[in-house]
Amino acid sequence: MTGAPIKAVVIGASGGIGAALVAALAEEDVAVRGFARSFTGADRLDLEDEASIAAAAAGLATPPELVVVATGLLHQDGHGPEKSMAALDPAWLARQYMVNAIGPALVAKHFLPAMPRGGRSVFAVLSARVGSISDNKLGGWYGYRAAKAALNQLVRTLAVEDRRRNDRGIVVALHPGTVDTGLSRPFQANVRADQLFTPERAAVQLLDVIDGLRPPDSGKLFGWDGAEIKP
C-alpha cells in the first residue's frame, strides 16, 4: 500500500479482529493501513505511548475516511475479570482503564483532527455490551465493565465535539459480539456455537454496520447486528 491514498486505518491490526478488518477492507479494494504495538517503524502504535499515537497520525499522507480502533484487554498475566469486589486490585483496574478507555481516547485526540473536515467519515472503537450500565444484570467483571462504560461515555463526548468540526462525521462504539480470539477464548464455554463468530465473520459484520451508519448515529453504541445498545 506504499504511496496509495489511505482511505481507512485500523489500529490493533495485529489482533484477531484487527487483522481480519484489514484483510476485509483490502478485499473490497479499500486502501488501508494497519498500526499495532507489535509493528515496527512508522506502523508502530502503542496505546500506552501517546508519542507513538501522535507520530502515527502525523505520518498519514492523506486524511482517512475510516478509522477503527480494534483493541481491548480482558485478561493478562494471571489477571482476569473479577467475580466479586474482593478481587478488586487497583493496579489491574488502572490497566483496564488505560488500554480500554484512555488509549482509544488518545487515538481520537490525534486521529480525529486528521480526518476529513467535510463529508461522511467514521471513527469507530470496539467496545462491549457489558459496558452498558442499563444492561448489567449479572454483576462481576468490574474493571472491564467500568472501562468499557467509560469508553462509551468518551465516545459520546467526542461525538459532541467532533460534530463542530465536521457535521457529517460519525464517532461510534461497536460491540463485535463474542469473537473467537485470544481475548474471549477462556470465556467461551457457555457461548452458543451460532453466537461465537470467527474474526473474519466479525469483521464483515462490523463493516456492514459501519456502512449503514448516518450522522445522527454519532455518539452511540451499536451491536454487531446493527441494533443500538442503550448505555
Is residue 189 over pLDDT 80?
Answer: no
Q: Number of structural domains, the chain?
A: 1
Residue 3 pLDDT: 47
Residue 7 pLDDT: 94
Nearest C-alpha neighbor of 62 from the set 25, 100, 1, 115 = 115
Residue 87 lies in a domain: yes
Distant-in-sequence, close-in-space partners of 124: CB < 8 Å, separation ≥ 6: 66, 67, 68, 69, 170, 171, 172, 173, 174, 206, 210
N- to C-terminal Cα distance for the chain?
38
Q: Which three cell numbers stand for residue 61?
A: 499522507
Range of the domain at 122: 8-229
The alpha helices in 59-198, defined as continuous H runs, are: 90-97, 103-111, 142-165
Is residue 1 over pLDDT 60?
Answer: no
Mean of the per-residue pLDDT values for the chain? Answer: 94
The pLDDT confidence band at residue 4, using thresholds 50, 70 and 90, is low
The alpha helices in 40-185, defined as continuous H runs, are: 50-58, 90-97, 103-111, 142-165
Choice among 60-69, 72-81, 99-108 with the minimum mean pLDDT: 72-81
The more confidently predicted of residues 205 and 186 is 205
> How far apart (Å, rounded) are the C-alpha atoms in residues 113 and 3?
21
CATH for 207: 3.40.50.720
Is residue 184 over pLDDT 60?
Answer: yes
State pLDDT tens for residues 7-31.
999 999 999 999 999 999 999 999 9
Torsion of CA 68, 65, 26, 127, to 10 degrees: 10
The pLDDT confidence band at residue 186, using thresholds 50, 70 and 90, is confident
Q: For 220-225, what is the mean pLDDT?
A: 98
Residue 216 lies in a domain: yes
The alpha helices in 29-128, defined as continuous H runs, are: 50-58, 90-97, 103-111
> How far apart (Å, rounded) are the C-alpha atoms in residues 174 and 221?
6
Residue 2 pLDDT: 42
Residue 195 pLDDT: 81
> How far apart (Å, rounded) are the C-alpha atoms in residues 44 and 47?
10
Q: For 79-88, what is the mean pLDDT?
A: 96
Residue 149: exposure state from Cβ atoms within 10 A (0-12, 13-18, ≥19): buried
DSSP-based three-state secondary structure for 202: helix
